[in-house]
Structure 1
Amino acid sequence: ARGRTLTHRYGFMMDKFSLPTAIADLLAARNALRSYYGDILRKQGSQVDLRFTLDGNLVGDIGEALAAELFGVRLVETESTEGIDGHAPDGRTVQVKATGTKAGPAFRQTKTRADHLLFFCLDFENGTGEVAYNGPEENVTRYLPETFSKQRCVSRPRIRVANEGVADTERLPRID
């Protein structure tokens, strides 16, 4: 398994992994942007520090790619199956969430919920990630209000609690 370690944290095992080389290349390019524009701004006397953070659709796509690589999730066209990103090898529907920040996963109000949720926390500065949640989606979505508009996040502490309650038999096994 590529850079995989299981660490004991928060009272349960965390599944950590190294991000692929292709993502390291992306981060190197991002860091070159930081340096290039940082030099220009400093020459202009500016104190602005542009971070060029990776967020939004790019982080979501990275999460889905990791789900396919690490868990064998067969991705589906998102537009055709709102609330479901793919299917696990055993047929379960899967929703994938990822963040490169300290935030928890964000959910939209959808008519369909997946059987399973994978939530990845990505540390782009150190080139690592961890599977913060791997279990039934309902264990996490129960923290959402029954109705809401736009998006709602489930906090990282609640994710930890939900992950602690997942039996090993309910988790998707890693294929790498």
Structure 2
Amino acid sequence: MNHISLQRSVAEKIKALYAISRELEQLFPGRHYTPDGHMIGSIGEALAASWYGLELFEASAKTHDAKATDGRLVQIKATQIDRVALSSEPDWLLVLRIHPDGTFTEEYNGPGALAWSHCGKQQTNGQCPITLATLHKLQTEVPESERLPKINEVSAHA
């Protein structure tokens, strides 16, 4: 499967997942069926692999989730809220915000050390939080030419 077909397939399946979630919420008002936790992490990894050409490691690999075509080791974080948490300093960090319609926006694509140095105090679960607002500010310090490039980009609304 070529990258464009893979991107479209992943995008369609994620949009369908969110559509089913909305349908269930309409059938059972007051209940929430929003994907979260491990599912959001896996969705983010699938999006990153298909849009950035990353080679994913086995699930739950320590510190890094994938390798870029240029050899960079990448930690992928996906969220639906205004923050993410890191448990260690990655070589490279890619943060994606997943939207309710199944699309995503790139929130941070830069050196892990830069993000790690701005994380909050370690929580009892061992993770250090960082807000998307902070990541946006840090992103301005990362030249476009150094960021992981999207490959064969097609519309996120395909």
TM-score, normalised with respect to structure 2: 0.82
In the alignment, structure 1 segments of 5+ residues that lack a partner are: 3-18, 39-48
In structure 1, the partner of 2:66 is 86
Q: Secondary structure at the match of 2:83?
A: coil
Correspondence for 1:119 among 88, 95, 110:
95
Please state how far the C-alpha of 1:50 moved relative to its aligned partner. Answer: 1.6
- Over the aligned positions, Cα root-mean-square deviation in angstroms equals 2.0
Correspondence for 1:107 among 71, 86, 109:
86
Paired residues for 1:8-157 under 5 Å: 20-38=11-29, 49-79=30-60, 81-101=61-81, 103-108=82-87, 110=88, 113-124=89-100, 126-144=101-119, 149-150=124-125, 151-157=127-133
In the alignment, structure 2 segments of 5+ residues that lack a partner are: 5-9, 153-158
Please state how far the C-alpha of 1:148 moved relative to its aligned partner. Answer: 5.2
Q: Deviations over 1:98-129 (max 9, x none)?
A: 1012x212112x4xx332111001111x3321
Separation in 2, partners of 1:69, 1:83: 20
Separation in 2, partners of 1:114, 1:88: 13
Q: Deviations over 1:6-29 (max 9, x none)?
A: xxxxxxxxxxxxx71111111121
Q: Aligned pair count?
A: 144
